[in-house]
Structure 1
Amino acid sequence: MRKIISFFTALVLLLSCFTIIQPIAVKAEGKSTLPFTIAVENLVANNVVDIKFSSDEKVQLYIHEENTTKKESIYSSVVENSVSIEGILLNQKYSIDVETVSKELYTGYFILYNKAESEVIGLILDINKVERNINFEDDTDYTRRIQDTVTSVVYEREKNDNLNTANKLFEEVIYGKISASNDVDYFKTMFYEKGDVVFLLDNIPDGKDFDLYVYDSNKKQIASSCSTNNFETITIKDVKLNDWYYIKVAGYNKSFDNDNYYRLTVSHIPKKIVNYGHTFETARILTTQNDVEGEILFDGDSNYFKFTPAEDAYYVIYTTGTTDTYGYLYNKDRYLIASNDDKPDDPYGNFEIKEKLKSKEQYFIQVKHYSIGTRRFTLKVEKESNKEETYNNIDNPIVVEMNTEYPGIIPTEDSQNWFSFTPEATGSYSITSKGSADTYGILYDDTKTNIMMENSDGLNTKAFELANTLLEGKTYYIKVTAENFDLQNNQYNLFIEKLNNPDDENFQEQWGLLNYLNGVDINILPAWQYSKGNGFKIGIADTGTDDNHIDLKKNIDLTLAYNFIHNMKDVFPANENLSASSARAGHGTHVAGIIGAEANNGQGIAGIAPESTPIPLKVLGSRIPEYPVYNGAIASFVNSIQYAKDNDIRIMNCSFGGYAPAVSEQEAMLKAEEILFVIAAGNDGNDLSINPEYPACYYHDNSIVVAAVNANGELAIFSNYGGPTDIAAPGEKILSTYPQNNYTYKNGTSMAAPVVSAVAGLVWSDDLGLTPIEIKERLTADSNVTKLDSLKNKVLSDGVVNAFKAIVSNKTETSARSIKGIDRNIFGRDIKAKIKYYKDNTKNHEKTDKIIVKFADGVELVDFINNINQKNIFKKMKQVEHLELINAYVFEFSTVEEADKAVDVFNAYGEVVYAEPNYLRSQN
């Protein structure tokens, strides 16, 4: 058995690999008694280097590949001073054994690596000096014994003695202590960027034996390191993203006393992304004369190419290889004009796009990867010779009129039928195909390049259905191809009809539902063919609602409505002090009308989900004179979330916000995974990534943050944007219901959010099996929104909600916001310090005389409060409520200043998890 009597590890030297390199000795961190050095001497080829071995004395040197013996050495010789060793491969682990003339023995390994595809070479060296009395020819494993001791300050952590109580490890380095032979420490951590991870357990005192284990998200052990060194190390290659990894530190051999400290280091080595060719801006050039090699580097990556045809012609763009590719063709303005998944009879799933292209215009090709293959491919483009004209083309379309069926035939699998239509009046139009052919339809605007919509599945038996607001006098183009070509079933009829507007008196004023100016609206009329809400419950967390309004009373469910401000059923109290947040100020009534005003009743307006069930949940408001109960917005909102969970209210419209985040608010929303929160972005005209507001900026998976646009299709001047903002909706000059059977116009993201809530209700009522995240994906998917240049880089989807696209889409994949890789921990590790910061920087008019307190498990509340009261710190302190959802309590004090003081007092106690102001929220 071999026993190590000294050890060191070194990670050194970053050297340019395109020049002759002067030898640089490897220098170990800490003590080193090695009588030799290794250095990179020269790069021979892309993956081969020469090294220089130098020794202070004469040595016998063996170098052999990992998992082989010294008898199979690639280098075996006596070295007196130095020697150059050729042909060392990059990224290959080599074992090394050195015996000096004085019979000292050294053994270990080294690796030369190219760092993350950069022009850099690095060297990792791990050498151990072993006792002289071992047999050098013995290739058996050996144990290690360390001598040096290191002591460090221990960072005290919560109990973490099993996988279920593992501490979250956010630091790169943490110190711990094993207190007994049966003691173990567990940690868990998560990674958000592709790469490798090294777990290093070191600083183990002399004579102690600690072991290191790593488990996957299913708590299954995947790696261990159990030597007798003063360090243990584990490397995990290509870590899974957004999954927990669990780390276990355990003592061994019952060798414990007061000096059982250790250090745990987590080092993430991200994979470097090669930007060239992976964005529109860095697209590589493709011509008919050259084929281009490509490679998808990681899930979600794309390769981009640009092609400029020499002449007008039909071109075939396709990939070859064993990778399942998907291709997209864009025009010079980066508008998608064609796409394809699999060309016929290709066993590997290569794509093929055939399209007529214009000479001297630049086109872009995007290549994605799906599921199988090496991720490498070859992209080609060819001009089609003697291309047989299909049925017609975009420059020679069949002109069609409304309410007439036009027969079509698809003679071959790549045939294209083109039609054009010029409406005589602005309105919402449906374009459908009927017949035996399985068809795919694409609608272009008058530019002939911008795709307004594409679809292969229509209502009932329609082969496809396209629908949009079309403007009087403009010409639109429809392209029909085969979705699944069948020569025996290749005939169809194209039919266009204008959809009827509802008969509500003021419908023409509702530009967000039908925009006569430019057609930029939410495309609601065709969506109503599928659903109008079907009684789906939508919670309106707001100021309260006039439930007796003539356009609302049929749909509102008063049996579920509740006033959380005053703890009663009345959501429209008559004697509430008039303020902007009072029910009679009309904010909540206006929001309710946008969502669920009755349609086709000959009066007022039409709600977007006119057969849904709006549920007023009053969480904003002012005091009622001489009424004892008045809760601030945070506590009220937390209670309303619990109420929604209990009563199967799956959408909550949140047209309010504030500048201070609240732990209790964030915690309550996280505990409501079954609810979709639709949140107004706010009205300060700010970038939320710089000036956050809450609850918009908690970055929850099950929330949609909504900006506002005006009738011109521009981001409203008042609207917040950026950060977590997912989508936009009409929010300027919005006509809706107002108390006492009135109607009024309002501006704000408060008006935009209920548009999205209503559309979510339509989609969900049409498919009750969807989850909140799937609903979000339906609404915000790139292919399901109406994209606007004014929203690019302002909202994550770059577009306005499109009700029809969302409801007919059967795809839930989206490249819009996925927040799994975003840090949602607003308060960091020191929650109480952050609470104090926000409290001290928030104005008194945004607070109440109440605070929210969460105690640690096992705290005797009565004893704790009695102890506080005995100190006579406060003039008045009264427990007024228990927030069941988050197991926290609301305490009332005599003034806001006293409440502020109480936050600091409570947070000074270890028995308190957190105490924070019961912040007010205001409508947006």
Structure 2
Amino acid sequence: MVRDRPMAAFALVGAVLTTALTVPAPTPARAAPAICQNPSDPGEVNTETPWHQRWLAPQRVWPFSTGARVRVAVIDSGTDSSHPQMAGRVTTGFDALRGAPGGDVDCVSHGTAVASIIAAGRQEGVGFYGLAPDATIVPIRVSERNANEGADAGGDTVTGAVFARAIRQAVDDGADVINMSVTLYYPDPDVEQAVRYAVEQDVVLVAAAGNQHQDGARPDPVPYPAAFDGVIGVGAIDQNGARIRQSQIGPYVDIVAPGGAVVAATRLVGHSVWDGTSFATPMVSATAALIRSAEPNLSAKEVTSRLLATADPARGDASRGYGSGVVNPYRAVTERLTTGAPVAQPPLPDVPYDAAAAARAERWAVFGRLALWIGLALATLAVVVAALAVLLPRGRRTRWRPTRPAAPPAAGPEIDEPEEHFFRVPSSMPRG
């Protein structure tokens, strides 16, 4: 979750949700770099296919585009290039905190998780992988603190000047897409100028819409850079398609993507389950990379239009924090725009609530349970009656005394009986 910072301070969006994953990490964790004050532990390997991959089905789009030749800058806590699924996909990058190369170090796993959603490669026995596996990650390190840690947790975090420097560095390093899963709740002028510089250089900018939804108590704070012109603001949904509770609502939400309980990589090895708009944002960035790889001649503005025009209908409209709908990588790559302006699909209709029908359904459910128990009772009674019908007559015949079976006759030796011979005296024979 995002924590409020002073006017020009940022916080990483999203909090780690610990879960029990079954398969242990295959290799021992190496020591954290010296620059890490409070390094997070590596996760455990996830062997099942996460729900967000089943939802977006990236395999459908890979015959058309895998993100090859596209550079995606991830402005975050760094990206661990030693993770087995990220090896060979991450450049050295830039450490904006220290003004030197070295963005491929991550102390808290947040940036590694974001980058892995974009470009993690497939690995035997692992269910998780990225949406654009052939894209190149350019890590720009601006923080070494998780959003769910307090200000006294130690480690440097981003300021307006550092973040502006990171955006410019990403552009100068040749980024085609910039992913910003970081949020500022104040329109810093340095950051605004850096965003304008990136827009002028035809870079697609994607930013988290923030995790500070107020549940109607007061208006949500305006997140930057998502609210700047030329930036795609991303909200988060869960596996039921509903906006997650903390995902903010406002005109800065242009599109939504899976961001509730999604699986992503941790530093070193393994995976964890993550929540927040931080992790919905790279799904849109990955889709932008797929488009730019398939059609490199499209401008950043055209890529943005394609993303919004091909979004699937959501459970609500922009006024409820869903923007134009749910990102669809397959449609975004395979469908072509007409000359007309993009039109958002209407939201999915709400199922009307009928109190009388609900009451009838409840009564039928009660009757069904009652009928089941009565049926079981009658079946039991029938078995008892059948057993008694067999046993009672026999009991009367034996006068309820136990009976033993009769012994078979003893077998003895066979005795040959003498044969009797008879003959008749003929009548003509003289008698004597």
TM class by shorter-chain length? 0.5 to 0.7
Determine if the alignment matches structure 1 residue 756 to structure 2 residue 296: no
Contact 2:95 2:142 in 1 (8 A): yes
Could you tell me which residue of structure 2 aligns to residue 742 of structure 1?
Answer: 270
1:592 and 2:129 are equivalent in the alignment? no
- Secondary structure at the aligned position of 1:718 is classed as coil
CA contact 1:566–1:630 (8 Å) conserved in 2? no
The answer on 1:651 being equivalent to 2:174 is: no
The correspondence for 1:509, drawn from 31, 49, 58, is: 49
Q: Does 1:547 align with 2:87?
A: no
Corresponding letter in the other structure for 2:286: A
| Residue 696 (structure 1) aligned with residue 213 (structure 2) | no
Match of 2:188 in 1: 662
Cα-to-partner distance string for 1:813-841 (whole Å, 9 max, x where unaligned): 31359xxxxxxxxxxxxxxxxxxxxxxxx
- Using the TM superposition, give the Cα deviation of residue 790 of structure 1 relative to its aligned residue in structure 2, in angstroms: 3.6
Counterpart residue type for residue 121 of structure 2? E
- Over 3 Å counting, the alpha-carbon distance change for 1:714 and 1:796 in structure 2 is closer
**Structure 1 residue 703 displacement after superposition:** 1.3
CA contact (8 A) 2:325 2:344 kept: no
User: 1-side partners of 2:80 and 2:171: how far apart?
Assistant: 24
For the residue of structure 2 that corresponds to 1:712, the secondary structure is coil
Q: 1:711 to 1:638 in 2, by over 3 A?
A: same
Counterpart-to-counterpart distance in 2, 1:736 and 1:641:
24
From the two aligned structures, give the one with the greater strand fraction: 1
Cα distance, 1:743–1:693 mapped onto 2, change above 3 Å: same
Paired letter, 1:774: E
Gapped regions of structure 1 (runs ≥ 5): 1-504, 515-520, 574-582, 623-628, 818-924
Secondary structure of 1:787's partner?
Answer: coil
Describe the SS at the equivalent of 1:799.
coil
Following the alignment from structure 1 to structure 2, what is the Cα–Cα distance between the partners of residues 631 and 724? 24
The 2-side partners of 1:738 and 1:665 are apart by 28
Q: In the alignment, does 2:209 pair up with 1:681?
A: yes
1:469-528 superposed Cα distances (whole Å, 9 cap, x missing partner):
xxxxxxxxxxxxxxxxxxxxxxxxxxxxxxxxxxxx8474321120xxxxxx22422111
Compute the displacement of 1:748 (Å).
0.6
What is the alpha-carbon distance in structure 1 between the residues aligned to residue 317 and residue 125 of structure 2? 35
Q: How far apart are the structure 2 equivalents of 1:752 and 1:510?
A: 14
1:557 lines up with 2:104 in the alignment: no
Per-residue displacement from partner, 1:66-91 (whole Å, max 9, x unpaired)? xxxxxxxxxxxxxxxxxxxxxxxxxx
Note if contact 2:185-2:222 (Cα within 8 Å) is conserved in structure 1. yes
**Aligned-pair Cα RMSD in Å:** 2.4
CA distance in 1, matches of 2:327, 2:158: 32
Q: Residue 70 of structure 2 aligns with which residue?
A: 536
Deviation at 1:586, TM superposition (A): 0.8
Distance 2:73 2:113 in 1: 14
Aligned 8 A contact 1:680 1:706 in 2: yes
Count of residues paired in the alignment: 286
Deviation at 1:640, TM superposition (A): 2.0
Say if 2:235 is the partner of 1:707: yes
Q: 1:635 aligns with which of 156, 161, 166?
A: 161
Structure 1 position 601, deviation (Å): 4.4
Distance 1:589 1:533 in 2: 18
Q: 1:530 and 1:692, CA in 2 relative to 1: closer, same or farther beyond 3 A? A: same
- SS of the equivalent of 1:617 reads strand
Which residue, out of 562, 568, 571, partners 2:103?
A: 571
In structure 2, how many angstroms separate the alpha carbons of the residues matched to 1:751 and 1:596? 13
One-letter identity of the residue aligned with 2:224:
Y
Distance in structure 2 (CA, Å) of the matches to 1:689 and 1:807: 36
- Offset at residue 631 of structure 1 (A): 7.9
Structure 1 residue 791 displacement after superposition: 4.5
Secondary structure of the residue aligned to 1:592 is helix
- Residues 816 and 795 of structure 1: CA distance in aligned 2, closer, same or farther (over 3 Å): farther
Shift of 1:646: 1.9
Percent identical among aligned pairs is: 28
- The residue matched to 2:51 in structure 1 has which SS? coil
In 2, Cα distance between equivalents of 1:637 and 1:758: 21
Q: CA deviation at 1:719?
A: 0.7
Q: Distance in 2 between matches of 1:528 and 1:689?
A: 41
Q: Deviations over 1:357-402 (max 9, x none)?
A: xxxxxxxxxxxxxxxxxxxxxxxxxxxxxxxxxxxxxxxxxxxxxx
8 Å Cα contact 1:547/1:572 also seen in 2 = yes
Structure showing the higher helix proportion among its residues: 2
> CA, structure 1 residues 689+539, in 2 after alignment: closer, same or farther (shift >3 Å)?
farther
Provide closer, same or farther for how the CA distance between residues 713 and 565 of structure 1 changes in structure 2, counting only shifts above 3 A: same
Counterpart of 1:611 in structure 2 is 134
- Please name the residue that 1:65 is paired with: none
Q: Give structure 2 stretches of 5+ with no counterpart.
A: 1-44, 146-154, 346-432
Cα deviation 1:283-338 (Å, max 9, x = unaligned): xxxxxxxxxxxxxxxxxxxxxxxxxxxxxxxxxxxxxxxxxxxxxxxxxxxxxxxx
- Maintained 8 Å contact 1:796/1:816: no
Letter in 2 for 1:544: G
Give me the TM-score of the superposition, normalised by structure 1: 0.30
1-side partners of 2:74 and 2:82: how far apart? 16
Q: 1:532 to 1:689 in 2, by over 3 A?
A: farther
285, 295, 301: which one pairs with 1:773?
301
